[in-house]
Amino acid sequence: MAIKTRKHENLTETNIQHVKELLLAEKPITKKEACSILNISYNTTRLNKIIADHDETVAYRERRKSQNKGKGATEMEIKQVVNFYLDGSNISDIAKSLYRSPAFIKAIIDRVGIPQKLAMTDYEGRKNAILPEQCVAEEFEVGEKIWAVRQNYPAIVQREVQEEKAEERGYKVYLCYTIECSQDDLKDTYFPHLTYAGKFYPLPAYDMGKLEHLQKYL
């Protein structure tokens, strides 16, 4: 059951569980303190309901996970994983949504060949990122949607760049930064749910990944 949340309230599952543990501790916090941690008005009736709804949600998820245990991924689940992941959801959140384990979701991502999305602050990870085998290519077409490995963004190929003495192919691409706006430019692309703003950027072919193998899931 979804817990109704006001904008200023901190009613994430993690925080509610934290408050519940503090209330059940050997030296428990007061309900007033619990409300303060959740950033809600002091209301014991609502506090009790929030915790009860949280327990119901966790119990239901565990039942569904138990029912799914040992069952292979369905085509619908694979499609949901691909779309959720490319739209920015992390593995933990996808696992909760599909009542599967994080390891199960990670296995789908690896098997299907989705480029790994890293935190923008993970500079070392982005520097050493490796593309899935399905994404590896040496040539790209103008207008093709690709994955810019080091930049950690999808991009659109603008043109091939020929440089003297260059040993590798290079391309000028348009990096697509996801933002909240009303543009509809990507509705027919490999990233149909993203709207974007971005910038032009030169990339060597070895830092670009194919995405066409994901089209059937989108």
Question: Residue 49: which of 96, 1, 97 has the closest Cα?
Answer: 1
Give the model's pLDDT for residue 175.
83
CA 98, chain centre distance (Å) = 14
E strand or H helix at 177: strand 170-178
Q: From first to last of the 218 residues of the chain, give the pLDDT tens digit.
A: 556 677 788 998 899 999 999 999 999 999 999 999 999 999 999 999 999 999 999 999 899 988 888 899 999 999 999 888 877 688 888 999 999 999 999 999 999 998 887 776 777 877 788 889 999 998 999 988 888 888 888 888 999 987 666 567 899 998 876 544 344 544 555 455 555 557 888 999 989 999 888 888 87
Give the model's pLDDT for residue 197.
59
Surface-to-core class of residue 101, CB atoms within 10 Å of its CB (0-12 exposed, 13-18 middle, 19+ buried): middle
Crossing angle of helices 31-38 and 13-23, rounded to 10°: 170
Give the model's pLDDT for residue 166.
59
Give the model's pLDDT for residue 183.
43
